[in-house]
Each structure stands twice: as C-alpha cells, then as structure tokens.
C-alpha cells in the first residue's frame, strides 16, 4: 500500500461524470415495435442444447425471442450482419452507451466503422430484477464468454464445450467456414439471463445464481439483417461455475417471428455511422 496524501478524502469525494451521456441517442419507437410484436407470427424455432449452441437468421424488421425452457439457464449471444461478418455486436460500446446490463428500450450496437443499432430489446421478463444488494443485475455486457484458453491458463484444463467453442462450431455450421476461419469472428457476448456485477472491495467480476425460470424470455427487434448464435452455457444458471460437465444445464429456445405486412409502416433500417473517415482516423 502506498501512503495516502493529505487530501486523499477530497480526491475520492470528487463527483463522477458520465462518459457518454446518451440523451441524444436515436430513440427506438417502442410503441410501434410492441404493436408489431402483438400480431407477429413464428416462422422458425431452433434450440441451443445444453452445453451447445445454435445459429439463426432474422431479417431486418423481424423479431427474435430467447426463452428459458425446462430449467434455469443462461446463454451467450453473438450477432453479426447477415451480409458481412466484420460488422458484429460491440459489447464494449454497448456497455459505454447503456451501462453494464441491458433491458427493454436499450440496443445492441455494432462494431466500427458501422456503429449502428443491430437489435433493440423490446421485452424483458426479468426487467423487475433491477440491481440487487450485491450490485448484481441480469443480461450483462461486461463478461466476455467462457473459453478454453482461459481455462487452460488458470487450471490447465482442456474443456471443449465452453461458450466460445460452442459459438465457433455454430458459426462454422451456419456459414460453411472452417472452424479455424470461424473462430476469429466469435466475439464478446451479451450474457442473456446471467446475473453478474463487480465486487466493491476488489472490483472483480462476479456471477451468482440467475433468477431466470422456465418461461422467462428476452425479445429483440432486428434493426438489420442478422445472423445470430446462442450458446447454452455449460454452467447452467452460473450459480457456482461456468465451465462444467456436472452443473445442471438446460436448453434455450430461439424463436424468430415475422410481423404482419404493414405493421411497421414508416420504419427504416438504421444507416451506417455517418463519421467521414476521409478526414483522419
């Protein structure tokens, strides 16, 4: 420990400033989305088996819903533009714009140089949870994804059903890419249903048993044509570990829904970011 200066308390007492005030962000028309969702019909249903992943496609102007079935389960979500894998979900910028966890009305943003909304949360059955006494909340954009490289680094393990591995296989299957070519496109995730936060004493990322129960769901509006992949985390509800062959683990269902013709009258997909890169990067 270093010696605290005489004005240490005064330095700590300085009020924080929000880095990215978001009141100027383009606002989604949630009322329009809600009306369209009311009459939308399912067109595809896929399931991420326990300790495995699935891929799915959603056209711009469609919806997709992730639902817990059979038991408490968290999932890791990746999203890409259906036409260009280099445009992908940017969890860090989403965190900077909205906060550590997302809920209804907030958006998943894409990577540079497009930086535009990819999907908007329109329903969150766990929206009631808020932030608990430990600083925990659900649907985080702070964790990365469980992966075999960190497992090997920390424990010398060779585990092949981490979310990173599951997402890699799902993307390869969906695109025809080899595993080696698919892996670099797998990216930091939205931890769907996962309950997480940071400890106040050490600042460490923590997880706790998710409040999710069968029937709980998170529904998104696709702002652009999407390719998605969802892994059912091998840690189940992540109450104790997240790379495990013994934790109770359950499937997650992904349902793609199409709105009725005319239900989204006036809506337009978002344009790519307007920054002019010709003037310097």
Mean pLDDT of 237-247: 84
Task: Evaluate if residue 53 carries a pLDDT over 70.
Answer: yes
What per-residue confidence (pLDDT) applies to 80?
99
CA distances from 149 to 120, 154, 230, 236, 242 (A): 31, 9, 20, 20, 14
Kindly indicate the confidence band of residue 76, based on its pLDDT and cuts at 50, 70 and 90.
Answer: very high
Average pLDDT rounded to a whole number, residues 210-215: 98
Query: Please, which pLDDT band fits residue 141 given cuts at 50, 70 and 90?
Result: very high
Mean pLDDT confidence for 224-236: 97
Instruction: Give me the DSSP letters along the chain.
Output: -PPPPTTHHHHHTSPP--SS--TTSPPP-HHHHHHHHHT-EEEEEEEE-BT-EEEEEE-TT-EEEEEE-SS---EEEEEEETTEEEEEB-HHHHHHHH-SB--TT-EEEBPTTT--EEEEEEEETTTT----TTS-EEEESS-----HHHHHHHH----S-SHHHHHHHHHHHHH---HHHHGGG----EEEEEEEEE-TTT--EEEE-----TT-EEEEEESS-EEEEEEE-TTTT-SS-SS-SSS----EEEEEEEPPTTTTTT--PPPPP---GGG--
| Segment among 9-13, 104-108, 142-146 with least mean pLDDT | 142-146
With bands split at pLDDT 50, 70 and 90, how would you rate the model's confidence at 245?
Answer: confident
pLDDT band, residue 281 (cuts 50/70/90): low
The pLDDT value given to residue 277: 85
**Is residue 56 a contact partner of residue 228, using CB atoms and an 8 Å limit?**
yes
Could you report the per-residue pLDDT of 260-275, keeping only the tens digit for each?
999 999 999 999 999 9
Closest CA to 227 of 55, 60, 77: 55
pLDDT > 90 fraction of the chain, expressed in percent and rounded:
94
Give the residue extent of every domain in the chain. Answer: 29-260
What are the pLDDT digits (tens) for 79-136? 999 999 999 999 999 999 999 999 999 999 999 999 999 999 999 999 999 999 999 9
């Amino acid at each position: 420990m270093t010696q605290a200066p005489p004005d240490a308390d005064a330095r700590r007492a300085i009020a924080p400033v929000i880095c990215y005030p978001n009141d100027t962000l383009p606002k989604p028309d949630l009322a329009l989305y809600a009306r369209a969702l009311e009459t939308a019909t399912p067109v595809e249903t896929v399931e991420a088996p326990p300790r495995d992943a699935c891929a799915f496609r959603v056209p711009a102007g469609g919806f997709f819903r992730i639902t817990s079935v059979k038991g408490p389960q968290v999932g890791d979500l990746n999203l890409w533009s259906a036409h260009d894998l280099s445009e992908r979900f940017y969890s860090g910028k989403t965190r900077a714009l909205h906060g550590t966890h997302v809920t209804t009305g907030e958006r998943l943003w894409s990577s540079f140089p497009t930086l535009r909304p990819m999907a908007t949360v329109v329903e969150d059955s766990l929206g009631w949870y808020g932030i608990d006494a430990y600083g925990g909340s659900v649907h985080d954009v702070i964790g990365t994804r469980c992966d075999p490289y960190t497992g090997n680094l920390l424990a010398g393990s060779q585990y092949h059903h981490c979310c990173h591995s599951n997402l890699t296989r799902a993307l390869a299957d969906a695109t025809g890419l080899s595993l080696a070519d698919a892996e670099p496109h797998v990216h930091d995730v939205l931890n769907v249903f996962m309950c997480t936060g940071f400890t106040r004493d050490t600042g460490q990322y923590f997880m706790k048993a998710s409040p999710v129960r069968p029937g709980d769901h998170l529904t998104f509006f696709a702002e652009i044509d999407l390719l998605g992949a969802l892994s059912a985390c091998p840690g189940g509800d992540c109450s104790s570990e997240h790379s495990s062959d013994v934790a109770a683990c359950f499937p997650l269902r992904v349902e793609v829904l199409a709105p009725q013709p005319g239900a989204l009258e006036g809506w337009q997909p978002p344009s790519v970011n307007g920054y002019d890169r010709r003037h310097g990067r």
